[in-house]
Each structure stands twice: as structure tokens, then as C-alpha cells.
A and B are shown apart, each in its own frame.
Chain A
């Protein structure tokens, strides 16, 4: 800060926040610019707290709340009790949404889809998952997830940021802040959303940097032919001219930063540099047309169509090969309040093959050992029917009390089931895993102690797990 250039008028006009703005600059000088991090002190970002098991994460987020009873949580008791009312005393143990408030009956519903044990490990899966069945021996199914959020947006925020209210950094942003990026030419946090959507929109706060510097935010690639727009320079502008222009922009920005001390300016500088590198790195990585035919047989022909879930899974593998640290896919449409049998079949037909293919593909390339793949949504569904229960149709409402996710990859037990729900899949019966515990475990696998990765904001130190969370040792290999 050059104090000699300040007179009273410029001081007052420049710093509308008064002294706060001057102090802010020196307090928040970012310690971790792209890739570079300070050595680790307690509570400061740094490299690993202990050796990591995985280098990258692919999070296949199934938005809408996939029904655990039709997929993984086999409940023969529901066969027995099908059609009878759920006891009021049991129903009262969990929040119910306003959507079922007008119902007068709450009949229990068995899954219309049959279950079988799969693989050598004998994991229960429904007939809707013939491809995931083939990777049964790779995955660890957690049946005892639970949360408090009962509606989509707070629940998605909870899964992605550790809080039902928006404003906190997402998992990928915490990792970018704590570990930097492995690949200097691509963003360290990429978001891919499948085309088609569902009734429930997704909020970009789910991949936001929250109160961390903005270059930690997730970079959403568009789902279609041009995942990143305007990569090409204008006509008549050659890379050298563009480089000179970027140097000028950087100088002007740096000059501004010297005056204002605004760390966001540093973020902008980083982002422009990243944009420049992405001009060359992105076209290569998003070009799926050069993949051999067997890849399309594995993932399904949909993988040829940019923007589909299958194509995004394939793109995720390519990004993983380039060491992008956090790759997040979102696939919507799992919110079967009604017409569940048809609806969920449509969902699995669109995702099962590509999901399993991704895991197999990573394994074949030797990447599965240091990658963590996560499959799951934001909550589960009710064991009682929403809307009318008929012979072949029913719906299920949101249910935070228990849901299923699975993990695969480095550091995770293979062919394993963790946790149990009660006989109706209404409450967790054994080894519950709260979202905070899931986050703690995720950070642990990446070599970070969730209690030590913190950021001071509004006077206190925040972390992804806030003041909660325990690492789930039972799923670690």
C-alpha cells in the first residue's frame, strides 16, 4: 500500500468501507493461488495432513432422491406388510413433507421390482440395475445414510456444502482451496449436468465457492456440442496478440490489486490465465469422437451424444485421466412422487449402463485405485405410498430418515455393505452415516483431516463439516 499517494479525498472516495478495506487486503492475501499452497499449519490450507488414498473424485449425483427400496435396500418385510397402514407411532419419528399432509391413508408399499444377490460379495440389488450388478464386487453400499433436509434445494445444499442454507463452499471448492489443482491447464473442479433435466432445478450454489476465493468455484461445462463457449480467438487475433492482450489485462488488474488489495482481483487474474490455457486444453479433452468402438459398447450408444449422462460419464473418465481433482455429474429426474414404477425404470435405463461402464473403464486404466467414485442423491423416499396405491402403480415422497449411496475406488472396502435400516426402510437401524460423516470420510480419503481444513470467515473458522462429522472407519479398507 503506497500511503503517500493518499490524500483525504482519495482516501474517502476509494475506501467506502473506511479502514476496513485497508485491513482486509492484508488479512486476506490469498495463501493458495492456483496450484501453490503454503506449508500446512493447523487451520491453514496446505497440502495433505496425511497420505491420501485417492487423487480425484467423480461424484455421480442423482438429483431428485432415488428410491432406495427399488434399487438397493431390499425389504422383504414390505412384501409382508404391503397395503397396510404404517403405524402412526412409526411415521411420526421422521419429518413428512407438506405434500402428503392431505393424505388420509399411508399404506406401506413393497417394491414392484425383484431383488437378487449379486457378485461374489452377494450385495442385494434390484432387477433395475443389471449393469451395476456386474460391478457389485467393486462397490461399497452404504444403506444407512441420513439427513435432516426434506426438500430438494436444502437437501442438495446439505450434500454439497454441509449446510441446508446456501452460502457455504461446496466440497470441490474446499478441495481446491485445500489442495490446489493437479492439472494447471484445466479447472480443478468441473461440473457436468446431463441434458433433459427433471422437474426440480439445480442451483449453482451447489458448486459455489461460498466465502472462499472465487477461483475455487466449480466450472460448469455446458451439456452439448460446445462445452465451453468462445474458446476460439476472434478472427484476426492470433495467439500472440491474445497473449499480449492478456498480459496487459493482467498488468492493469495487478495495478488495481496494489491499490485496493482486493483478493477477488487475484482470483480474476487466475481465472483469465486459466481461460487462456483452457483454449488449448479443453477442445482436446471434450472431443469424444476419437474413442474406439468398444468404449461406446461399454457406455452405450448414448455416449456418442454430447450432453447425455453416458457422454458425461465418458467425459468424466477423460477429465480424470487429466487429473482434474473433482468432477461432478448431475443427473436429474429421480423425484418419483407418482408413477414410480415407470419413472424409476426410465431413470435406471438412462444411467445404469454408463455408471457401471465408468467404474469398469477406470479400473481397466488403473485409475480406480486412486479415484473415488460416488453414486447417490440428496435423500431417500418413503416406505409408504404417496398418492393412490394400485396394483401396479404408486409413488413415494421425500424421506430424509434413510437413504442409500455407494462408493468405489481407492481406500474403500470392495463388495461391501455398510449400515442397515429398519424392516421398513424408514429409520436407520445400525451404523448410521450422516452427511457430515460422509464429508469427513471423503476428506479423509483425500488426505485431509476434516477438522483442520478451515477458513476464517465472519469471525470464526468454518469447515466443510462445520462442527460435526466423524470419519466412518467401517468402510475404509
Chain B
């Protein structure tokens, strides 16, 4: 529950999302790959990259239609939201990164 829903982890995911979107605007594949590498220490393979991209696109479309929810999602945490970047992208990337953080590999030391 903590990893999924704790505000601290939400905020971390959100801010990481801002960083990679800011770094590679309009290049979601590169954004996802960078975030993944920062979280797990390796590059995603093609299966993972595809699924993550599909998920991100779906969330992105959804949040574009539900900007209120995007704003609500981004309101968590104290770090100020980067106003230059589109809200719906930030929310979708936040959720995508949060999901990456919740895979067994991300939080298990082998």
C-alpha cells in the first residue's frame, strides 16, 4: 500500500516524471527508458518498453479528457509542479513511473 499510495512515493514519481519530460520533450519512449534506467539500473527490454509505452499512452489520453483528475493527482506533495509542461502528460507519466517503482525488481535487492 505504501509504495502504491503513500504521498511520498507519489510525489517522487511525479517529480521524476517532470524531470524526464523536461529532459526529452515529446519523446515518450526516451522519457520512459530514462525513468526505467534510473529506477532499476538497466534499460527496459522490448517487451517492457512496449507495455510501458502502451500504458502511458492510454493514461495520457484519459487524463487529457479528465484534466480535473490530472490536476488532483499533481496536487500531492510539496514540490511545486512545473507549469510549463502539460498536466495530462505529467499525471500519466507519474502513474507510469509509480508502476515501475512497484515492480518486484525495482524494490528488491538481488
Contact = CB atoms under 8 A, between A and B. Distances in A.
A binds B: yes
A241 B103 contact: no
Given A232-B5, A235-B75, A249-B102, A244 B69 contact: no
Q: Which of A234, A245, A249 has the most CB of B within 10 A?
A: A234
What is the predominant secondary structure among interface residues of chain B facing chain A?
helix
A244 B5 contact: no
A278 to B, nearest CB: 8
Contacts of B69: 235-238
A25 to B, nearest CB: 14
B1 A229 contact: yes
A229 B55 CA distance: 27
A356 B105 CA distance: 47
Given A237-B95, A275-B1, A255 B47 contact: yes
A235 B76 contact: yes
B73 A236 contact: yes
Interface residues of A, number: 30
Contact of A236 (B58, B72, B96): B72
Size category of the B interface is 35 or more
B88 to A, nearest CB: 11
Interface in A179-232: 228-232
Given A230-B6, A234-B76, A248 B1 contact: no
Contacts of B6: 229-230
A245 B48 contact: no
A302 interface: no
Contacts of B10: 234
Nearest to A14: B110
A232 B66 CA distance: 19
A275 B4 contact: yes
B4 A235 contact: no
B70 interface: yes
Interface in A244-277: 244-245, 248-249, 251-253, 255-256, 262, 264-265, 268, 272, 275
A233 interface: yes
A275 B110 CA distance: 24
B55 to A, nearest CB: 5
Nearest to B70: A236
Contact of A248 (B4, B7, B52, B66): B52
A234 B77 CA distance: 11
A262 B103 CA distance: 13
A275 B98 CA distance: 16
Interface string B1-25: 1101111001000000000000000
B2 A236 contact: no
10 contacts: A229-B1, A229-B6, A231-B1, A236-B73, A241-B95, A245-B99, A248-B96, A252-B51, A253-B103, A262-B104
Which 10 A-B pairs have CB atoms at the shortest separation, nearest pair first? Answer: A236-B73, A236-B72, A230-B5, A235-B72, A236-B69, A230-B1, A268-B104, A252-B103, A248-B55, A265-B104
